[in-house]
Structure formats: C-alpha cells, structure tokens
Amino acid sequence: MMKRSIYIALILVGFLSCCISNAAFAAIGVTDLRCEMLYNPQGISTTHPRLSWQITSDQRNIVQTAYEIIVASSKQKLTLNEGDLWDSHKTISDKSIMVSYAGKPLTSRSQCYWKVRVWTNKGTGEWSNQPANWSVGLLNPNDWQAKWIGYEHGFPRDSVSKFSRLSARYYRKQFQTLQSIKKATVYIVGLGHYELYINGKTIGDQVLAEAPTDYTQSVLYNTFDVTDDIRQGDNVIGTVLGNGRFFTMRPKYKPQKIKEFGFPRLLLQLEITYQDGSKKTIISNDSWKFTANGPIRTNNEYDGEEYDATKQLTGWNKIGYDDSNWLKPELVGSPGGKVAAQMDAPIKIMDTVKPISINQLKPGTWIMDMGQDMAGWVQMKVKGNRGDKVTLRYAETLKPEGDLYTANLRDAKATDVYTLKGGDEEIWHPVFVYHGFRYVEITGYPGMPTLGDFIGQVVYDDMANTGQFETSNTLINQIYHNAYWGIRSDYKGMPVDCPQRNERMPWLGDRATGSLGESFVFNNENLYAKWLDDIEQSQKPDGSIPDVAPAYWNYYSDNMTWPGTYILIADMLYNQFADKAPIEKHYASMKKWLDYMRQKYDKNNLMTKDKYGDWCVPPESPELIHSRDSSRNTSGELIATAYYYRMLYLMQHFATLLNKPADARSFSALALQAKNAFNQKFLDKKTLRYDNNTVTANLLPLYFGMVPEADKKAVFNNIVNKITIDANSHISTGVIGTQWLMRGLTDFGRPDIAYHIAANDDYPSWGYMVKRGATTIWELWNGDTAAPAMNSRNHVMLLGDLIAWFYQDLGGIKADEPGFKTIIMKPAEVAGLDSVNASYQTPYGLVKSNWKKHDKQLDWSITIPANSKAIVYLPVNSISGIREGGKRISVASGFKYLGQDRDEAKIEIGSGDYHFAASNYFE
Ligand code: BGC
C-alpha cells in the first residue's frame, strides 16, 4: 500500500515536472528573423547572407546553446522541414546574429524560405512560426538582357541651365501573357528617381527610389515580387522618371564642382515564370513608348515640383491607352557604374504632421505652420476651377513681419506649383522632390485653405526607430526631440547635411561621431554600410578620399577629420551591430587612404594638412559664421595629428581583428611616432597645456589616449577650468571637439559638467536653440543671429557625441562586446537629474534602463535581452546595499558579484527583467 502511494506520488512529481519543463519549453520563442539585417528582402546582392534572430522568453538568464536553421526552396518544403538548400542541423553555438548561410550554392534568382529553432540552457524553442524568406537578385552582368533607355535631350519647355527645369518622363510598355502566372519579378533602375506601375497599380510604397550613388561607379536596382499584379492576357508596365541626383539640380553651372550624369534613364527587366515552368521576359528597349508631356512639368530637388493636372495622361499606365503620339525612346549607354542590388531600406513616407495654424498674411496669401521643422512635403486637398494654380513655398523660419524667411535657402526656390484640373476635390503631393521646412506660404488657393486641407508627410529611409529616451529634465527631452527630428530629416538614401538649402550634400565630417548617437535612435546599419561603399567608390586611384561622398560636389581637399569618418563609421558598425563586414570590405581602401595622407602630408610624424579646423565654434560676435579669434580656434595641425593618431589606432585594432599582425605592428609603430611628435610639439611641459589651451586642444589627446599618464590629471584640469571658468560652464567647441566632449568629461570623472552643458538654456547651447523656438538642431550655435549664407536650422553635426552620451552615460546602456552581446549598464551620477527612461533595440532584443533617484536610493528597472548579459554598476559600497525584487542578491539567485569599482558594486546578470534598489543606507 505504502509502496503504491510512493509510486503514485513519484508519477505525479514526474508528471508535474514534465508539465513545468514543457511550460519552460513553450516559453522560449524565436522572432524577428532577418536576412542581411532586413525583413524578407527581395533581390539581395549576396549568396552568403547573414541570418539573425531574437529569442524571447519570460525567464531570466537565457543563453542559446544550439540552433538549427532550415532553408528550403519553397514554402511547402519548409513546412515539411525539408531543408533542400540548407539544414544546419543542430549546431552547437551561442551565435544568434550574423550566422552566415552555408548551404547549397545560391545563384541569381534563388528563392529561399527559412526558419530557425534554438536550444537554450532553459529549454528548447519551437520553430519560428512565421516563415521568413529572401530571394537573390541578379548577380551577373549577363543576367540583364534589358537595355538602358532614355532620351538625351530636353524639350523646348525644359531648360538645361543653372536653375534647370526638366519635365518627368513617362514610359509604358504593353505586353501579353499567354498562361497563368506562377511567379513574376521586376528588377528596376530608374535614374534619378522612378515610380513603377503595373496595370495602373503603384508597385511598392517606396518614394524617391532608388538610393542615390555616384552613377559612374555603381547603380542600385530594386526588386519587386509582382506575381499578383500580372494577369493572364494584356498587361501594361509603366514608369515615371524624375531627375533626382542623376540629372543634377544645378547643371551647366560650376562644371568643375558639380558632377553631372545626364538625362533620366531606365533599365527594367520583368521576369515571368508561367505555371508550366516556361518563361517570358519583358525588358526595357526601344519598343517602349515615352512622353515628357505629362503632368509633372518640372522636378528639381532644390527648386520644387510643378504639376499640371490638366495634362494628366488618364489611363496611361493601363491597357487600351492610345500612345500613338508618344515617342520612341533612345537606346542609351549605361551610366558606367556596376549594377548592384540596393541593400539599404528604401525611402518612404514615414510619418505625418498636422499643421497647427494657417493665417492670412495678406489677401490671397496664407502662412501655414507645421509646428515642426521637418523634411518631406505637404499633401494638399483642393477644389476649384480648371487651370487654378496653387503655389506652395517652403521655409524654415519667418521674418518678423510674418512672411517667409528664405535667405538661408540660398538659391533653392523650394516651391511646388499645382494646377487644378477642376471639378471634384483633388489631392496632391510632389513625388520627385522634398523640402526642409516648418512654414509653407500658400497662394492661389481657391477659397479658404483650412488645416484639414493639408498634411505634412515626413520622408526618410524606412528604418526602425530603435531607441526611446526620456528624463526628468524637460529641456533635455526637448533637445532629444529636436535631435530625433534632425536625424530623420537628414537621411535620404545617404546621410545629407541639411534638407532645405541648395546643398543637401553627404558631407562626411557631419556624421563622424554623430552616426554612433544616431545608431541608438534608428536602425541605420545598412544605410551606413551603403555609405561606406559610396565613400570607397569616391576614392581616387592615388588614395585621396573626398569630404563629400558620393562626390556630387568635388571636394578632394585632403584632411583627416572629414575623410576619417570612413574609419570611424566602420568601427561604429562593428561595435553597435557586430557587423564586421565593413571592416573586412574596406580595410584595403582605408589603409590606402592613410598611406596616401602619410606620404603626402606627414612631416616628422605630424600630420600637416587640415581644412576645417574645429568647424563652427561659437564665434566672438553674433553675426559671424566662423570665428576669427585665434584663442577660440584650435590649430589645424594639432587636430589633424590627433585624428591621425586615432585613425592609426583604429587601423591597428582592425588589423588585429582581421588577423594581420604585421599590419597591426606597423600601425602601432606609426601611432607611437605620431603621439611622441604630437606631445613634443604641442604639450607645454611647464603648464601641461596643449597648444593654445582650447578645450578641443586638450580633449583630443586626452580622449584618444595620447597624454602621458602622469600628465592626464593636469590636462583634464585644463579642460575643466576652461569650461567652468573661461566659458562659464558653456560649450566652446565646434564640430570636432563636441564629438568627444560629453563622453570625455564623463569618462574622466566630471559628468556633472557634461550635464551642466547639456542642460544650459542660454547661449551657446543646444538648450538655447530650444529656447529660441528651434524644433531641430541648428548648423551654428548662433543660428538665430548669424549671416544666412551658411545657416541651416536643420543640421545634425553640432550634436557631436550628445546622443551617444544620452544613451551610454545617462541611460547607462553601452555595448561591451560588439552588438551588445555583453552590455555595460552604468548610468552616470549627476546631481539634478532624478530619472531617466531609456531603451534600445539591440540586435539581440530590447535593453531597458529606467532609473529613479529618491532619498539616497536608486531604483532601477533593467531589461536584458535573451542570449546576452550585462555588467551592472550600482552606486553602493558593497553588495549588501543591493536589493532585487525586494530581496538581497546572491550567487545562488543568479547574480555574480564582480567586486567594487570605486564607489560602485559590479554585478553580472543574464537576460530578463530586474528591479534593483541600491542604497548605502540599507541595513
Ligand atoms: C555643410 C557642412 C559641411 C561643411 C564643410 C557646409 O556647407 O553644410 O555640414 O560639413 O560645409 O565644408
């Protein structure tokens, strides 16, 4: 009897524990499957894509111990777990991001469907339930049968001059399919921009496609699965071509400076597979028809778009349209660049903004305020008579009298014109241009424009907003808001300096460190990887790298700070995203550039060539753009040599990563020589000041690790004194110094000064911009008073390392191992800031840091994603000052105490949600 009950009890225990462990199994999920960091990308450029996933669980301390990936050539096979392309089988590994495909060789057009399951230390997950997929694009030049078509002339109404006007070109091709369709794919390059239609339907929701490049070097195509859009019988494929950067905004103006590519061109291939496996291909060639006499009369990124609805070509992209008076396109040459798949996300309408007011300035003229400086356009609703013409002029600010202030747009006309066809309500927005603006002047509007007639559409690259940041200081929150709007304004298939004036150029220096801060806010990995390709393609055979890439403007001025962005961004992509490919791909070109600079400008180990100095320091008088005061500016040679050292240091690190020990040794030797020469020349051994003792002059060597150990304290004191005494705790640095300032002050023990600088609201500061009504970040500290020639209200370069500091030091979220496999959680202690809520989507998943201070106690909620871990710093003298979930912590409960680091206890935790309380006053 007794025995029996024990037996039953044992069975029960077994059953229960089985239920529990099954529950544990069920709690492990796999989500967020990405191929080359993209969701279900079509037409990728590689046959060895890197696959990533995230693990979800409601338990703590989840570590992946193995994975199995199945890649099948069809959905059906995948459902049956038939990995005919690849079955990795159970692979022992904790790698859950950037796992390279290692199955059967893929070729152009391969279709791949995939799923993954994981084993963890806490149970096995189910297969990822949403099958993911990718397809390979056209990898070889001979995959393309399509011909480049275009028309290499303007029409009488066009003007190919400084303020060029060129109407959009409409292309169409009617064709027949004889059977039902199994698969149809379009590959398209429409230069500069295209819209694509099949049977009247818009294909895709991309705008301003495809991403801009130097078309003589590379040309990017987009791929669309159009299986559901092609029908058996007659079909029409149509595209509209706009100018973009291909037919440049200021042609025939400064030929030495501005690169021209030619008139818009199309390369299109539609591949159809019928149900029986036979194929048909429609290609761009001279059997197509085109007209330039459609509604888009002109489109110029600086000057705006004019659309005449009375010229609409009704039904042009559907069957049955009479195109007999359309023209035959010319077969034209390729622009020269290698045709490759676009691997960064397309630009889309990412957000909308409702205007906050429309006021009549004078009869017939209204000023609309969007309430936010933004980049994109306005969509308008209007009802009126045929031929009525509405003009929209865009600007960032108003004059005191209330009309638009356009002096800072330089010669950009920033004007859209819409001519009504009349009758019913018409809805319109431009498609081939964008504007940077807060205010819109409306003239010619029939009737009274109301707020409901307009909506702002925010246009930038389709990248996830990965970070959230909020503090107890509302001014800091507004600065963050301004930065967020600036960053999204200035992504346009490449990072540009500004969205409004006649510039919008991808200046390298603006993003050197800013890109790191940006990477917390947006998933900008593929965009920056693409930009490194642009930079490489702009390199001259001798090694020189320009300041603007793609080199639409010719600026090969040779300096360390702007081109050095090439190396800094590769480093950022590695640290933030664990993406090593850019370092591998660009190492040779980076090395070549450094060799070139060394051979040409290294004199006795000093880098003698600079161009921009500490660009845009706060000047001595309010109307100045650039300071002429030598005590505010920092020596170009000092900046160049410090950056030279930094670049050599990073290259040494890259060489080590790539297992090139001889290179690493040689970079390290050069770095040492540069450091010695630098200290010899610029460090005053008596005062321990660098050169003229600006913050930047002391900060660069200190942050870069060039200062002799014994002198570090004194050098840091120079910085502290300069800021707190000479600058009254305000910023005194420009684009260069500001890149290292906030983290430098924090790393050397004075986060309070950094916080003071960030929280200032008087001149010069980011807060001053806010107080003066800014909703983005200005190009100049004195943007409200400086001359208009170089005074954009929407630039990101003055952010320096502010956003990185917000996340890394105020939020306390920093990558230790690349890609946040190990995370350092260490918020800086700053008096006056009572709470921060920060979160960031790492490649492994969401990390959160929400802290609050009250009564000498820190309350801190932390989330660490599965398959990563964190080193957490808590401000207590010993582990006994820590509670988690109200309890003391111990090794047994999964916390590893790593000892004290000055006043902070260091513990290691695994994934999961935690709520810490830390106080030296706990008993
Ligand atoms: C741009 C800057 C750029 C600088 C360098 C300016 O006109 O707007 O952002 O870095 O020139 O010359």
- Report the nearest atom of ligand 1 relative to the CA of 735: 10
CA of 615 to the centre of ligand 1 (A): 9
- Report the nearest atom of ligand 1 relative to the CA of 562: 10
For position 55, what pLDDT does the model report? 98
Kindly report the number of other CB atoms within 10 A of residue 554's CB atom: 15
Identify the burial level of 474 via C-beta atoms within 10 angstroms of its C-beta, where 0-12 means exposed, 13-18 middle and 19 or more buried.
exposed
CA of 426 to the centre of ligand 1 (A): 40
Q: How confident is the model at residue 373 (pLDDT cuts 50, 70, 90)?
A: very high
CATH class label, 818-918: mainly beta
Pick 6 or 784 by higher pLDDT.
784
Between CA 701 and CA 751 the distance in angstroms is 19
Of 410, 500, 505, the residue with max ligand 1 atoms within 8 A of its CB, to mutate for a pocket test, comes to 505
Per DSSP bridges, beta strands 415-419 and 296-300 are: unpaired
Mean pLDDT, the chain, integer: 96
Between CA 437 and CA 360 the distance in angstroms is 19
Structure token digits, residue 627: 């300071």
Q: What is the pLDDT of residues 701-723, one digit of tens each?
A: 999 999 999 999 999 999 999 99
Q: Decide if 545 contacts 538 (C-beta within 8 A).
A: yes
DSSP structural state of residue 356: -
Q: How confident is the model at residue 376 (pLDDT cuts 50, 70, 90)?
A: very high
For position 105, what pLDDT does the model report? 98
Structure token digits, residue 222: 């987009």
Q: Has residue 778 got a pLDDT over 80? A: yes
Between CA 411 and CA 716 the distance in angstroms is 45
Domain ranges of the chain: 2-135, 144-343, 349-461, 467-810, 818-918
Phi, psi of 190 (to 5 degrees): -125, 105
Nearest residue by C-alpha to atom 4 in ligand 1: 507
- Report the nearest atom of ligand 1 relative to the CA of 555: 12
Between CA 441 and CA 369 the distance in angstroms is 9
Nearest residue by C-alpha to atom 8 in ligand 1: 497
- Report the nearest atom of ligand 1 relative to the CA of 498: 8
CATH placement of domain 467-810: 1.50.10.10
CA of 504 to the centre of ligand 1 (A): 9
Of 396, 498, 615, 794, the residue with max ligand 1 atoms within 8 A of its CB, to mutate for a pocket test, comes to 615
CA of 632 to the centre of ligand 1 (A): 19
CATH topology of 144-343 equal to that of 349-461? yes
CA of 507 to the centre of ligand 1 (A): 6
Q: What is the pLDDT of residues 794-811, one digit of tens each?
A: 999 999 999 999 999 999
Amino acid at 114: W
CA of 164 to the centre of ligand 1 (A): 23
Between CA 596 and CA 566 the distance in angstroms is 15
Of 510, 511, 562, 626, the residue with max ligand 1 atoms within 8 A of its CB, to mutate for a pocket test, comes to 510
CA of 250 to the centre of ligand 1 (A): 18
CA of 568 to the centre of ligand 1 (A): 18
SS (H, E, C) 532-566: HHHHHHCCCCCCCCCCECCCCECCCCCCCCCCCHH
Q: What is the pLDDT of residues 451-472, one digit of tens each?
A: 999 999 999 999 999 999 999 9
Nearest residue by C-alpha to atom 12 in ligand 1: 612
For position 129, what pLDDT does the model report? 83
For position 467, what pLDDT does the model report? 98
Nearest residue by C-alpha to atom 3 in ligand 1: 507
CA of 490 to the centre of ligand 1 (A): 13
**CB crowding 371-395: b at 16 or more within 10 Å, else e:** ebbbbbbbbbebebeeebebbbbbb
CA of 498 to the centre of ligand 1 (A): 9
- Report the nearest atom of ligand 1 relative to the CA of 611: 12
Q: What is the pLDDT of residues 140-193, one digit of tens each?
A: 999 999 999 999 999 999 999 899 999 999 999 999 999 999 999 999 999 999
- Report the nearest atom of ligand 1 relative to the CA of 508: 10
Nearest residue by C-alpha to atom 11 in ligand 1: 507
Phi, psi of 454 (to 5 degrees): -130, 145
Nearest residue by C-alpha to atom 7 in ligand 1: 790
Q: What is the pLDDT of residues 227-241, one digit of tens each?
A: 999 999 999 999 999
For position 20, what pLDDT does the model report? 40
Between CA 881 and CA 891 the distance in angstroms is 15
For position 871, what pLDDT does the model report? 98
CA of 150 to the centre of ligand 1 (A): 34
Between CA 168 and CA 626 the distance in angstroms is 40
Nearest residue by C-alpha to atom 6 in ligand 1: 790
CA of 97 to the centre of ligand 1 (A): 37
Maximum CA extent, the chain: 106
What average pLDDT does range 405-415 have in this prediction? 97
For position 10, what pLDDT does the model report? 40
CA of 553 to the centre of ligand 1 (A): 11
pLDDT > 90: what percent of the chain?
Answer: 95
The fold of the 144-343 domain, in CATH, is: Jelly Rolls (2.60.120)
The domain made up of 2-135 is a member of CATH 3.20.20.70: no
**Ligand 1 pocket residues where CB is under 6 Å:** 497-498, 503, 507, 509-510, 612, 790, 795, 797
CA of 512 to the centre of ligand 1 (A): 13
Q: How confident is the model at residue 894 (pLDDT cuts 50, 70, 90)?
A: confident
CA of 548 to the centre of ligand 1 (A): 9
Identify the burial level of 666 via C-beta atoms within 10 angstroms of its C-beta, where 0-12 means exposed, 13-18 middle and 19 or more buried.
middle
Q: How confident is the model at residue 892 (pLDDT cuts 50, 70, 90)?
A: confident
CA of 612 to the centre of ligand 1 (A): 9
For position 855, what pLDDT does the model report? 87
Q: What is the pLDDT of residues 666-705, one digit of tens each?
A: 999 999 999 999 999 999 999 999 999 999 999 999 999 9
For position 194, what pLDDT does the model report? 98
pTM of the model: 0.96
Phi, psi of 532 (to 5 degrees): -65, -35
**CB crowding 306-345: b at 16 or more within 10 Å, else e:** bbbbeeebeebbbbebebeebeebeebebbebebbbbbbb
Kindly report the number of other CB atoms within 10 A of residue 541's CB atom: 6
Of 489, 497, 791, the residue with max ligand 1 atoms within 8 A of its CB, to mutate for a pocket test, comes to 497
Nearest residue by C-alpha to atom 1 in ligand 1: 497
Phi, psi of 187 (to 5 degrees): -115, 125
**CB crowding 734-747: b at 16 or more within 10 Å, else e:** bbbbbbbbbbbbbb
Q: Has residue 569 got a pLDDT over 60? A: yes
SS3 434: coil
Which option is the CATH number for 349-461: 3.40.630.10, 3.30.300.30, 2.160.10.10, 2.60.120.260?
Answer: 2.60.120.260
Half-sphere exposure in the Cβ direction for 136 (13 Å, CA): 19
CA of 496 to the centre of ligand 1 (A): 10
- Report the nearest atom of ligand 1 relative to the CA of 797: 9
- Report the nearest atom of ligand 1 relative to the CA of 790: 7
> What does the angle CA 379 – CA 382 – CA 383 come to, to the nearest 5 degrees?
160
Between CA 843 and CA 575 the distance in angstroms is 11
Q: What is the pLDDT of residues 809-861, one digit of tens each?
A: 999 999 999 999 999 999 999 999 999 999 999 999 999 999 999 989 999 99
Q: What is the pLDDT of residues 256-288, one digit of tens each?
A: 999 999 999 999 999 999 999 999 999 999 999
Q: How confident is the model at residue 893 (pLDDT cuts 50, 70, 90)?
A: confident
pLDDT > 70: what percent of the chain?
Answer: 97
Distances 589 to 533, 553, 593, 598 between C-alpha atoms, Å: 10, 21, 6, 14
Amino acid at 918: A
Q: How confident is the model at residue 130 (pLDDT cuts 50, 70, 90)?
A: confident
Nearest residue by C-alpha to atom 9 in ligand 1: 497
Of 257, 498, 501, 507, the residue with max ligand 1 atoms within 8 A of its CB, to mutate for a pocket test, comes to 507
Between CA 411 and CA 335 the distance in angstroms is 28
Q: What is the pLDDT of residues 7-39, one digit of tens each?
A: 444 444 333 333 344 444 448 999 999 999 999
SS3 469: strand
DSSP structural state of residue 432: S
For position 37, what pLDDT does the model report? 98
- Report the nearest atom of ligand 1 relative to the CA of 795: 9
SS3 457: strand
CA of 23 to the centre of ligand 1 (A): 58
